[in-house]
Structure 1
Amino acid sequence: MKKILVIGGGITGLSAAHRLQCLAEESGEQIGVTLIESEDRLGGKLRTLHEDGFIMETGADSIVARHEGIRTLIGELGLGERVVHNATGISYLYWDGELHAIPADAVFGIPMSEESLMNTTLVSEEGKRAALKDFEPASHDFTLDSPVGAFLRAFLGDELVERQIAPVLSGVYSGSIDSLTLGSTLPYLLEYKNEYGSIIKGLGANRAKFESQANKKFLSFDGGLSVLVDALEEAMPDVEVMKGTAAQRLRKTGGGYELDVAGRGTLRADAVILAIPDGAIRALLGEKAPDDLFGKFQNASILTMYLGYDLPDSDLPADGTGFITTGNSGVVCDACTWTSRKWAHTSPEGRLLVRLFYKNSNPAFGKIKEMDREALVSLARADLEESLRIHAEPAAVEVTPWFGLMPKYGLGHRSAVEELEEMLSENWPAVRAAGASFHGVGIGLCIEDGRKQAKHIFDRLMQDR
């Protein structure tokens, strides 16, 4: 019997283990799959908390619905009736003490039409005229490896980019737009500029694609994202699951691989899927992990706080779902999601629930990291008093720090992933790295990657019989 180890019980590892079980069932092959997770529970960053009638997520609060992998997985697990979609509404930028609506006719704050550009209240007339230069013919030498910030400023001007686009992109991709490449963020913008001669015209010509994604583009489950984690665990009766088990060292042997496991001795396998962060892989491979390679992977930090109130959700601005802060905002947080408005299932009684985000790109983050819980709650309350005029005492609070654990795709990320895959192929041919550290941030992409790596390993083992 072929044996496969999946190291990491987050959504990537769970998806890989489940897919391996399905492939074995479909083919009739005898395959032993063992899933190893260092924590006492599965799910990794996905964890749903229930407190005082509120539903709160410690990690991501939703899944991008368009990913084929999540739709397939939901069908396989029979979770269709438990899916909930986000409410749609106005997203704001908080600037100079006021909420400014991000124009609906925009993608990540980038206008899809001249009308959208002219309607924004964040940009001066001079800034709008600068952005109109995007319509003028211009030669350029930008590539997919170029910083997205430099590309956007070259054609849309500094003011539109800094006030409206950069806060949105930085919020989505957890990094400065000057350290993110076009290829790792919005590769289609380069295609549009080359084909249509204008970023704005290109977005407008492809409007249908973006408008089809605008409504109900995110999904969760009626009991939170842990519903998915629990369903995956229940659907894997043939997978040996080892929780609270630390993988210590992976070695290649003449007949396959050996993994030293704390308190469990040594496990042997024909193939391994590493569904863990880059730092954990580095530790697992020990001296076999090149410092110059693993030093290229970058990780960011974030701290989030939920505050739930005995106030009606209707106290928030009508039709809004949250705001992102920009320069001269007067508040410390980087963003605030009006969770009870965006996700009705998180507050069945219609009470107000908000979530604030503080990222390591924030100038105050060094001080924030050192704050205790009481100081953090005071900071969050001050931000809500300033931005939303909420002065009440919260009925529920949840503080979640993720320090150094948020993958950040910098300028050299693509080449680092290619180098890692080449190294594994040459020296560890039946070992695959999977997950957010390498192939895409977001639950949907992690699910697809876990399933993809599972299929790759399965096909390889079948060929080697």
Structure 2
Amino acid sequence: MKKVLVVGGGITGLSAAHRLQRLAAESAEDIKITLIESEDRLGGKIRTLQEDGFIMETGADSIVTRHEGIRTLVDELGLGDRIVHNATGISYLYRDGRLHAIPADTVFGIPMSEESLMNSTLISEEGKRAALKDFETSDHEFTRDSPVGAFLREFLGDELVERQVAPVLSGVYSGSIDSLTLGSTLPYLLEYKNGYGSIIKGLGANRAKFEAQSNKKFLSFDGGLSVLIDALEEAMPDVEFLKGTRAEHLQKTDAGYELETAGAGTLQADAVILALPDGQVRRILGEGAPEPLFGKFMNASILTMYLGYDLPDAELPADGTGFITAGDGQVVCNACTWTSRKWTHTSPDGRLLVRLFYKNSNPKFGDIKEMDRKSLIALARRDLEKTLGVTDEPVVVEVTPWYGLMPKYGLGHRAAVDELEHLLHRKYPGVRVAGAAFHGVGIGLCIEDGRGQAETVYKEFIKKQ
């Protein structure tokens, strides 16, 4: 019998274990799969809370639909009839004391046409003229490793980038546009500039693709994302789950690997999938984890707050689904999702539910981390009064901090992952790392990565033995 350990019961580890179970069943291989999770529940950052009729998520609120892995997994689990999609609408940017609609004909705030540029209320006439130079300037020396900020400023001008594009991109990728590479964020922009001579023209020529992606591009489930976690656990009767078991140290032996745990003794395995944050991988490998290498991995922090009200959702601006802020100090939050508008299943009776985001890039984040619950709620209420005019007292509040647990891909991230995987190949054959810390942020990418690592382990260390 072959033994595989999956360490980490978040969505990546669950996807890996589920895929291994199916591969074993399809091939009639005798494989013992054990999944270890330090918490008493599965799901990692994914956890759905229900209170007073509201549905709230402690982590991500949805899954990007374009990833093939999620559709495959949903079909395998028979969850197709429980899928819900986001409502589409206007996204706003709060700047200069009011909400500005981000032009619909944009990608991350970058115009897809000259008309979209001219319709923006965020950019001055001078800024618009500067952005039009994109149509005239084609020569450059930028590569996929170039900072996306420098690339965009070169052709679209400082004002458009700083006032409209940077707030959107920074919000999506949780980092400064000057520390993010083209290759890790928007590689197609480089292709468009090279192929069409213009970023705007390239986006316009590929409009159909982006419009298709923007229409219902996220999914959840009628009972929240925990529906997926519960279905995965239920679908794995042959997997041994060791909840409340902390992995301590992994050691290579002549027979394979031994994993020392707190709670389940020492476990043996032929192969191991570490579906964990980089810091936990480093701890488990111990002396086998070079400090300079793991020092290259970076993590950000975020605090989110849900506020639910005995107010009709119709109090919000028509056709809107939320706003991001410009970071100009007029309000403290970085963004606000109008959850009851964007996800109608979260408030079946149509009452107002919003979610505010406070990121560690926020100049006031140090103060926010020191606030107690009462102070945090007061802060959120001030932000909502300034931006939406909501002054009522909320009936439900949920505060969720994720400190140092949000992977952030810097300029050297890809090289660091390559170096780590080369190290594992040489010193720990049969051990794979998986998840958001290494191969892509977001539930969809984590699902695909977990399934992919499972297939690699099966082909290289189970089937061939």
TM range (shorter): over 0.9
Task: Work out the CA distance in 2 between the residues paired with 1:398 and 1:371.
Answer: 15
Residue in 2 that maps onto 1:425: 425
Measure how far apart 1:329 and its partner are: 5.6
CA distance in 2, matches of 1:235, 1:142: 48
Q: Which amino acid aligns with 1:14?
A: L
Map of 1:110 onto structure 2: 110
Q: Which amino acid in the other structure matches residue 392 of structure 1?
A: D
Conserved 8 A contact 1:42-1:229: yes
Is the CA contact (8 Å cut-off) linking 2:138 and 2:198 kept in structure 1? Answer: no
1:166 deviates by 0.6
Which position in structure 1 is the counterpart of 2:436? 436
1:61-92 deviation digits (Å, cap 9, x = unpaired): 00001110000000000000000000000000
Q: Deviations over 1:100-159 (max 9, x none)?
A: 011111001110111111110000001101111111133111111111111111111111
What is the distance in 2 between the residues matched to 1:361 and 1:329?
13
Equivalent residue number for residue 128 of structure 2 = 128
- Any idea what SS the aligned residue of 1:405 has? strand
Inter-partner Cα distance in structure 2 for 1:61 and 1:53:
17
> 1:285-324, aligned counterparts within 5 Å?
285-324=285-324
Contact 1:301 1:404 in 2 (8 A): yes
Task: Name the aligned partner's letter for residue 44 of structure 2.
Answer: G
Matched residues in 2 for 1:327 and 1:451: separation? 38
Amino acid in the other structure paired with 2:364? A
Distance 1:283 1:335 in 2: 34
The residue number in structure 1 matching 2:87 is 87
Structure-2 residue corresponding to 1:64: 64
Matches within 5 A, 1:318-337: 318-328=318-328, 330-337=330-337
Which residue number in structure 2 is paired with residue 238 of structure 1? 238
**8 Å contact 1:257–1:268 — kept in the other structure?**
yes
One-letter amino acid of the counterpart of residue 76, structure 1: E
For residues 372 and 52 of structure 2, the distance between their equivalents in structure 1, rounded to whole angstroms, comes to 22
Give 1:327 shift: 4.0
Q: What's 2:407 paired with?
A: 407
Does the alignment pair 1:225 with 2:225?
yes
Aligned to 2:362: 362
The alpha-carbon deviation at position 264 of structure 1 amounts to: 1.6
Shift of 1:343: 0.2
Q: Provide the C-alpha distance between the structure 1 equivalents of 2:25 and 2:85, rounded to a whole number of angstroms.
A: 32
Q: Deviations over 1:280-335 (max 9, x none)?
A: 00000011100110000000000000000000000000000000000436110000
Secondary structure of the residue that 2:4 maps to in structure 1?
A: strand
Residue 373 of structure 1 corresponds to 373
1:131-150 equivalences under 5 Å are 131-150=131-150
The answer (yes or no) to whether the contact 1:108–1:168 under 8 Å persists in 2 is yes
Q: What amino acid is the match of 1:436?
A: A
Deviation of 1:217 (Å):
0.3
What are the equivalent positions in structure 2 for 1:198-213 lying under 5 Å apart? Answer: 198-213=198-213
Q: 1:438, 1:409 → 2: CA distance? A: 9
Match of 1:261 in 2: 261
Write the distance in 1 (CA, Å) between the matches of 2:267 and 2:185: 39
Q: What secondary structure, in the 3-state scheme, does the structure 2 residue paired with 1:361 have? A: coil
Alpha-carbon distance in structure 2 between the residues aligned to 1:205 and 1:263:
57
2:275 and 2:146 map into 1 onto residues whose CA distance is 29
Provide the C-alpha distance between the structure 2 equivalents of 1:413 and 1:369, rounded to a whole number of angstroms: 27
Which 5+ residue runs of structure 2 have no aligned equivalent?
A: none
Which residue identity does 1:10 align to in structure 2? Answer: G
Q: Distance in 2 between matches of 1:9 and 1:28?
A: 25
Confirm or deny: 8 A CA contact 1:302 1:358 kept in the other structure: yes
Measured in 2, the distance between the counterparts of 1:76 and 1:366 equals 44
Shift of 1:461: 2.3
Alignment partner, residue 214 of structure 1 = 214
When normalised by structure 2's length, the TM-score is 0.99
Distance in 2, matches of 1:310 and 1:3, equals: 53
The correspondence of residues 147-226 of structure 1 with structure 2, limited to 5 A, is 147-226=147-226
Q: Aligned with 2:311: secondary structure?
A: strand
Deviation at 1:464, TM superposition (A): 3.5
Cα offset, 1:463, TM superposition: 4.6
How far apart, CA to CA, are the structure 2 residues paired with 1:240 and 1:256?
19
Deviation at residue 187 of structure 1 after TM alignment = 0.7
CA deviation profile, 1:231-264 (whole Å, cap 9, x unmatched): 0000000000010100000011111110001132
CA distance in 2, matches of 1:22, 1:171: 37
Offset at residue 460 of structure 1 (A): 1.0
Aligned to 2:390: 390
Tell me if structure 2 keeps the 8 A contact 1:2–1:269.
yes
* Other-structure match for 2:350: 350
Contact 1:332 1:383 in 2 (8 A): yes
Gaps of 5+ in 1: none
Partner of residue 13, structure 1: 13
**Structure 1 counterpart SS, 2:249:** strand
1:210 alignment partner AA: F
Inter-partner Cα distance in structure 2 for 1:329 and 1:115: 30
For residues 398 and 49 of structure 1, what CA distance do their matches in structure 2 show?
Answer: 9
Partner of residue 453, structure 2: 453
Q: Within 2, Cα distance between the matches of 1:403 and 1:335?
A: 17
8 Å CA contact 2:322, 2:336 repeated in 1: yes
Match of 2:35 in 1: 35
1:400 Cα deviation from its structure 2 partner: 0.1
Contact 1:94 1:329 in 2 (8 A): no
Taking only aligned residues, the RMSD between alpha carbons, in angstroms, comes to 0.7
8 Å CA contact 1:95–1:329 kept in 2: the answer is no
TM-score (normalizing by structure 1): 0.99
AA in 2 matched with 1:30 = D
Name the count of aligned residue pairs: 465
SS at match of 1:163: helix
Q: Write the distance in 2 (CA, Å) between the matches of 1:153 and 1:329.
A: 23
Identity of aligned residues (%): 78
Counterpart code for 1:74: V
Using the alignment, how far apart are the partners of 1:365 and 1:388 within structure 2? 22
The answer as to whether partners of 1:339 and 1:355 remain within 8 angstroms in 2 is: yes
Q: 1:462: Cα distance to partner? A: 3.6
